[in-house]
Chains A and B, each alone.
Chain A
Amino acid sequence: MDKNTLSAENRRKNILSAVLGIICIIYVLPVVAVVINSFKVNTYVKTNTFDIPTGEMWAGFANFIKGMTFGNYPFWKSAMYSTLITILSTALILLFTSMAAWYIARVNSKFCKAVYYLCVFSMVVPFQMVMFTLSKTADKLHLNTPWTIPIVYLGFGAGLAIFMFVGFVKSIPIEIEEAAAIDGCGPLRTYFSVVFPMLRPTMISVGILEIMWVWNDYLLPVLVLDINEYRTIPIHIQYLKGSYGTVDLGATMALILMSIIPVIIFYLACQKYIIKGVAAGAVKG
């Protein structure tokens, strides 16, 4: 009787493992396709998409060199703008949303509650709903350069960041801030000397999530930025077209690989903080 139950249990587990394994493969397949095709000669990318590049299919690093030198917009410029926008946006989001979250968590007023729920609500509004009006507004307010677009990112990133920070701040005993007030800190000093360092786990997880989002984002920069002057890496990849609209898929794959490698390394290095930060916010929030 017991043996039967055990074997039935094992069978169920095996089936589940198989199903989940297949789902994992489906998820990973596009990434694998990008990796193998980035080393494949362009003509074989369409015909032998999932073949390992060997012999005459093997292109070596030719695709990478071609991708970076293609067209009249230098790749290093795109990489620079992507890096600039990502760093500036993430820094802005971390600084301002953590401050706002501290205020919201500590000042128990109707205004704070309203702001908090507005932020949470903003997470469920799809970007596509607001993108056209946004691109016009951004133009009018001159938020259409790599130095000013981080302000738009701040707006879109605030919802999730405030949600996570508020949850974490609530878990910090208020006595620590009271002790700081007695020790001689004003609100700003309390924030920078006491609260900010304590927020580090959530800072890291929010930072990682925001970096991945901003770095990979295509739609917002394409709508807001002047494409001829400023291109981020995703836009650069989109413009890898030859004359008559022919696309060099090998070079495209190579650039996609180059653009996702930093994010993947970053994610793998910091994933334990993401889980920690999300859990801290979720439990105490």
Chain B
Amino acid sequence: MAEVSLRHIKKIYPNTEKQKKKGDVHRVSHLKVTAEGVVAVDDFNLEIADREFIVLVGPSGCGKSTTLRMVAGLEDISGGELLIDGKLVNDVAPKDRDIAMVFQSYALYPHMTVRENMAFPLKLKKVPQAEIDKKVNEAAEILGITEYLDRKPKALSGGQRQRVAIGRAIVREPKVLLMDEPLSNLDAKLRNQMRAEIIKLRQRINTTFIYVTHDQTEAMTLGDRIVIMRDGEVQQIGTPQEVFDHPANLFVSGFIGVPQMNYFDAKLLKADGKYTVELDGKTIELSAEKQARLAANDVEPQDITLGIRPEHIALFGEGSEMFHGTVDVSEMMGSSVHLHLQSLGKDVIVIVPTMDLQGIHHDGIKAGQEIAFTFGGNVVHIFGKDEKNLEF
């Protein structure tokens, strides 16, 4: 139960002497490299409200875990301010920050039983034994691990171990609960199950969550707000719906949503104060909302990258506004079919429900078949050459 403020947070890993001598400090992925060293996190700003569930998401090496570790106190902060409940904690030891953390590798104490693992932080706080027992039993009940309390971690499955790790974190009733890819070591089925349990857990305990994942499904389902990161920089902060509907740039649009958004080279035109998009000689009318946003930003006509999500493409109908393509691969997913088309010189993915509202079956579409598709001007995304969404 606490507000967390990250203000201009920065993490720089100093260049090693070897790198300095060699002068090859520019070989670390796409991270910014300065004379001081490799910038793993750059100018991170976020105000987290009390009891909010924040998810940091991004590809490997984007700095999300580093940010979380800085909040935990496991990494020094190179610059900026970290406040928990209004108190500056940059130089406060992890144990004095009143936080708890769940690790990807569970990090249970192998020589202790489940009960001892969960009681350990309380024992260190010198909580009376009766209270420790009560809290451990309560947490074990919430997580459904009561029958394993006297087992050692090695006698538990991955899912059970992760529950114990979560249990150890929640018995302390921390101000902030940090989770570093807690579900990544679990198989797909167990991950879905645990994800649902984290949602339930969140409703039962009153604490602020910061959750790190590379899985966008986890991010979308769990987070009140999502922070999308890339190469140490925040790309966008918003609710799951916001980042899905209005991605700030090409990277976010591609990272959020499965399968990935389709992109086309197109032209943004403006006539009589009205914006339209021209793609393959066809004109796409934009919605009033998009018109207003583009007008507000005073966007000039220009070459653009047009983004359209696979689920926003429709197959029915024929006419001048239809685009044509050849089916390369048809993937039957059960409730829907993913069609990979060759169209407009690109690989285009279309998601079609197996049976649409008119009762027409689409599961018979085979590779090599010619089909026509279209999409509305209200669901397209317009990115400038600098990869930014022109509506922002």
Contacts and interface: CB of A to CB of B under 8 A. Distances in A.
Given A178-B74, A198-B111, A183 B124 contact: yes
Interface residues of A, number: 18
Contact of A173 (B74, B95, B105, B124): B105
Contacts of A197: 109, 111
B116 to A, nearest CB: 10
B18 to A, nearest CB: 12
A185 interface: yes
Interface in A155-209: 173, 175-176, 178-186, 189, 193-194, 197-198, 200
A194 B121 CA distance: 12
A182 B124 contact: no
Contacts of B104: 175
B94 A182 contact: yes
Given A176-B109, A197-B111, A185 B103 contact: no
A186 B74 contact: no
B306 interface: no
Nearest to A178: B74
Nearest to B95: A184
B110 interface: yes
B72 A184 contact: no
A179 B124 contact: no
B69 to A, nearest CB: 8
A175 B172 CA distance: 19
A182 B109 contact: no
Contacts of B74: 178, 181-182
Contact of B95 (A181, A193, A198): A181
A190 to B, nearest CB: 10
Contacts of A183: 95, 100, 120-121, 124, 168, 172
Contacts of A180: 109
A175 B105 contact: yes
Interface string B109-131: 11100000000110011000000
Contact of B110 (A185, A186, A189, A198): A198
Given A176-B109, A178-B74, A198-B111, A184 B124 contact: yes
B107 A185 contact: no
The binding surface of chain B is classed by DSSP as loop
Interface residues of B, number: 23
A182 B111 contact: no
Contact of B107 (A179, A189, A200): A179
Nearest to B121: A183
B94 to A, nearest CB: 5
Nearest to B126: A184
A177 to B, nearest CB: 9
A182 B105 contact: no
A184 B125 contact: yes
Contacts of A181: 73-74, 93-95
B380 interface: no
Contacts of A189: 124
Nearest to A184: B124
Residue with the highest number of chain B CB atoms closer than 10 Å, among A175, A176, A183, A200: A183
A175 B110 CA distance: 12
B277 interface: no
Contacts of B108: 176, 179
B101 A185 contact: no
A198 B93 CA distance: 24
A182 B95 contact: yes
B95 A179 contact: no
Contacts of A179: 101, 103, 107-109, 168
Nearest to A186: B95
Contacts of A182: 72-74, 94-95, 99-101
Contacts of B95: 181-186
Interface string B82-102: 000000000001110001110
A184 B124 CA distance: 6
A175 B103 contact: yes
Contact of A178 (B107, B110, B125, B172): B107
Interface in A24-39: none
Contacts of A176: 107-110
Nearest to A200: B111
A184 B103 CA distance: 16
Residue with the highest number of chain B CB atoms closer than 10 Å, among A178, A193, A197: A178
A184 B93 CA distance: 9
B113 to A, nearest CB: 12
Interface of B: 72-74, 93-95, 99-101, 103-105, 107-111, 120-121, 124-125, 168, 172
The list of the 10 closest CB pairs from A to B, nearest first, reads A184-B124, A175-B107, A183-B121, A179-B107, A197-B111, A184-B95, A175-B103, A182-B94, A181-B94, A176-B107
